[in-house]
Amino acid sequence: MVREQVAEFSVEYVQALDEEGNADEAELPDVSDDELLELYRLMRLSRRTDERAVALQRRGESGTYAPGTGQEAAQVGSAIALEPDEWMVPSFRESAAFLTRGAPVHRLLWYAMGMEEGAEVADANFPPAIPVGTQPLHAAGIGWGHEISGERKAALTYFGDGATSEGDVYEAMNVAGALDAHAVFFCQNNQWAISTPRETQTRTETLAQKAVAAGIEGVQVDGNDVLGVLSVARDALETAREGDPVFVEALTFRRSMHTTSDDPSVYRTEEQESEWEARDPIVRFEAYLRDEGLLDDDRVERITDEIEELLADEIDRAKEGRDRVVPAEMFDHVFAETPPELQRQRETFRREEGDGEVATAEEGMSGEERAAGGEVTGRGDVREDRETAEDSETSEDEEVSDRGE
């Protein structure tokens, strides 16, 4: 009988700045003073963009929004490590990463306002992916393409801790490892998959060790330490450009809601939130910059004023763009030839939007209703129910807003 150990593994944890902003010189990346200040500005811009976007949603001027409050270091530190022509493949909470990649604020707001212009593929950035965990497959494909073409590039994809429980994420990492795809799988472990805590999702000690099953490297970093994240992301991308994919687990915390439809106070304790408030990525980095003599009250005030001015202009531009939208276009561009049912819905919508004239009962029938013999009873009840539900949702949002702000 043979019984022997055939494999062993370990996972490194990296931190360059501790919770008080003290630096470990051995882990600090090579960054100029101007670049350090730009990291700080981007993190502040992202935090304030989240606040303004949530306020817009609360006033009914925007749709659902997923703030990344508390995760600024994880996103800014990793996105800035990508080259401009390397692909970023995000999920739906990567506003900070988009801003780091040069996306304007008004485009992020357009997406939240339901405008297709907010989801266009701009530069080397994929649009937000709403289905949980599907986008790493795209990054694996891009990375495999780089391997085939011999390009020294890499793709970086974002996903959360909840996505690591999805089969797609493992399949993406497995195929990346098998085909030498130039890909970095960047997991923002913010401790919560909506209301499901990290500890009930998996028995693994770390998420980074899930890379072992795919035969690729896994590393864990303090995701609230922007310099530690930058250092790890640079190393991971360099490795991936050589055809060795890497899985990075960034330990962070979603300090706000999952989306504007969520109320985290029903599943998180004040003690949990206070613990992570003390580890806030912006406060920590600001303390470091002040100690380094790169930041003082006057510079902080100037940066604050610049951000407020920028956001005021960008929000105005977002609203101007929204006002130019023709809502009836939502029926177009889905089919080469618009099906009769969609044509009927489009014409009904135009009449109701245009002059308030409500369609006749026959015009308002769905194809299914017509097929059933023209029975249209209950249509008014459905509409009334929907309006009641919307009123209820509005009240809930206002209630959450009162608690959250």
- Tell me which residue has tokens 């890379």: 211
Helix (H) or strand (E) holding 247: strand 246-251
Q: Pick the closest to residue 128 from 199, 74, 64, 202 (CA basis).
A: 64
As a whole number of angstroms, the distance between CA 394 and CA 388 comes to: 10
Q: Pick the closest to residue 109 from 194, 48, 158 (CA basis).
A: 48
Contacting residues for 168 by C-beta, under 8 A, at least 6 apart: 133, 134, 136, 137
Catalytic residue among 48, 267, 268, 350: 267
Catalytic residue among 47, 146, 241, 258: 258
The answer to whether the beta carbons of residues 80 and 39 sit under 8 Å apart is: yes
Q: Pick the closest to residue 224 from 45, 18, 13 (CA basis).
A: 18
Q: Name the E strands within 121-238.
A: 155-160, 183-189, 192-193, 196-197, 217-222
As a whole number of angstroms, the distance between CA 404 and CA 50 comes to: 13
Lookup: tokens for 376: 């249209």
- Annotated active-site residue 258? The verdict is yes
Long-range contacts of 336-340 (CB under 8 A, 24+ apart): 340/367
Q: 246-251 and 217-222 as β-strands: parallel, antiparallel, unpaired? A: parallel
Give the C-alpha distances (Å, rounded to integers) separating 216 from 159, 209, 244: 17, 9, 7
Catalytic residue among 254, 279, 322, 344: 254
Give the active site residues: 254, 258, 267
